[in-house]
Amino acid sequence: MKIIYQGQVKLSEQPIYYYPEVKAIMIDLKTKRGEVNAGGITTGGVTTPAVFVSPCEDSIYLKDTDVPFTEIAFPEFIGWYVLNAQIDKYNLNITFVKEK
């Protein structure tokens, strides 16, 4: 890592941690815009990474249902955790890293 120019926002010269195993996925949103929270679902002592997507005031193309959030589990990523989850206008982007 090399900082080309240090502006008003200061960064450390070295990363805090380097993740050697990273997976990233992108999921198309049929509803445009929303909010996302990351977590996990623990059953029998095993935690499955999960994300929870909910509408925001800018959401469009919402499904007609009484349940406001969508829950997505990733059993193929047991042993990993969600480092980052974000929504842009069209996609849900999730980054997983392998647990130590």
Indicate the pLDDT class of residue 58, thresholds 50, 70 and 90: confident
Q: What pTM did the predictor assign?
A: 0.79
- Cβ 42 vs Cβ 49: under 8 Å: no
- Average pLDDT rounded to a whole number, residues 67-88: 91
Residue 61 confidence (pLDDT) above 70 = no
In percent, the amount of the chain with pLDDT more than 90 equals: 47
Q: Give rounded-to-5 percent helix, strand, coil for the chain.
A: 5, 45, 50
Indicate the pLDDT class of residue 9, thresholds 50, 70 and 90: confident
Three-state DSSP state, 75: helix
- Average pLDDT rounded to a whole number, residues 72-83: 94
Give the list of residues 6+ apart from residue 52 with CB closer than 8 angstroms, or none: 36, 37, 38, 39, 69, 70, 71, 72
